[in-house]
Chain A
Amino acid sequence: MSAAVAVLVFPGTNSEHETLRALHAVGLAAELVHWSRPEALGRFDAFVLPGGFAYEDRIRAGAVSAHDELMDPVIEAARAGKFVLGICNGAQILAEAALVPGTGPLRRPTAAFAPNENGRFESVHVHVKLNVAPARVPILAGIEADAVIPAWASHGDGRLVAPPDELERLERDGHIAFVYANADGLELVAPNGSALHCAALVNREGNVLAIMPHPERDAWTYQHLDASRDAARGDTRATLAPSGGIKLFEHFARAVRGGVPA
């Protein structure tokens, strides 16, 4: 039996099809669920919140969606231990819903992906490195320690911000799941000024992950910004071959399948 994954679509979401394609590529039975159909979410094994500008980022990025009816069953499922992955705007929604870092009451955020330090929208190719022990992220089953995943950072509000004591707690208790790094895994200053160079937050139980850069936009060789893309030029099969970002989805798929009878 294939695990069913819901890809949530809010008004203004814009990365749902790329995300769906990456999930299909790793064998998950993923489908789009629009904001008007919260009742449809009950039958899914896991949830992915893709990138975009849900509700035009009105009030704050992710704030309106965090209170949307579509999030009620997702919050319930997350609390029951189901896997929830948020990418970019999806990560902002998870932070506003306080599912990550999950150190306070629901929908009372203790951290935020706030406007970038330079006040500008940044679109840049990045790598993110696993910053916690693999056991801390059961949502990425089988991921190797110090795994490095390529992705595209594409956001105006991606800077982790929290009060100093909360940042200390996030670092101490292993909530900083990924940090910005180079391709060799050397930690780098975040392009958005994110505290602790944070690229992704995970909750205490490790079943909810909020990652700012887009791994689904570096899931195929033609999207990957290094010599492999140049080498593949002219060779359709090589150009369309899976690239590094797909790894994140492979680990996610492994985690989701782990909870579904074969």
Chain B
Amino acid sequence: MSATRTFAVSLTIPDNEAFTALETLGRLGIPVARVVRADIWLFDADADDAAGDLASAIASNETIHNPNKHRLAERESNRPPPGEVWIASRDEAPASLVAGRSIPGVRAIRRRTAWRLLDDSGRDVAPAALDRAVETFLCNPAFQVAIKT
């Protein structure tokens, strides 16, 4: 038996990629005041694995999480919450290794990039604005897919 566990890794230092996305979205005329980005890691792990063991293994895997600049948080769902979009490769083959090393109890690993667009008041932008950002910039439908709630 295995279960999927989802972790989000975001930067605690300024996120240059998010800032670049903000600049480009502004150029595209999409009203966004702030862009929040995170790497999403989905682990198909042994269900009987003690919950803390996997979290601890991930937290100490420097390829996934560098405590000097990353924040690691486990998500409750393996789907994006409302207001967030995940971008994934269409033909992604689940990996079993991270930087050539296995993680005990983990059978398959998939990655996504999470994007959240906020307005001046810190709220999610309107769904239509998020859709436009995805269609015009954040997702190349030739090889990527946008996953929403």
Contact = CB atoms under 8 A, between A and B. Distances in A.
Chain A interface extent, by class: 20 to 34
A111 interface: yes
A96 interface: yes
A59 B142 contact: no
A101 to B, nearest CB: 10
Contacts of B142: 109-112, 114, 161-163, 166
Contacts of B28: 67
B17 A63 contact: no
A60 interface: yes
B140 A112 contact: yes
B143 to A, nearest CB: 4
A99 to B, nearest CB: 14
A79 to B, nearest CB: 19
A176 to B, nearest CB: 15
- Chain A, interface SS category: loop
Nearest to B90: A161
A168 interface: no
Interface string A102-115: 00000111111011
Nearest to B20: A58
Contact of A109 (B20, B89, B140): B140
Contact of B137 (A63, A112, A162, A166): A63
A69 interface: yes
A58 B89 contact: no
B81 to A, nearest CB: 21
A125 to B, nearest CB: 26
Contacts of A108: 135-136
Nearest to B19: A58
Interface in B107-149: 135-138, 140-144
A39 interface: no
10 contacts: A58-B17, A59-B17, A60-B144, A64-B20, A64-B24, A67-B24, A96-B140, A109-B140, A109-B141, A115-B89
Interface of B: 16-17, 20-21, 24, 27-28, 89-91, 135-138, 140-144
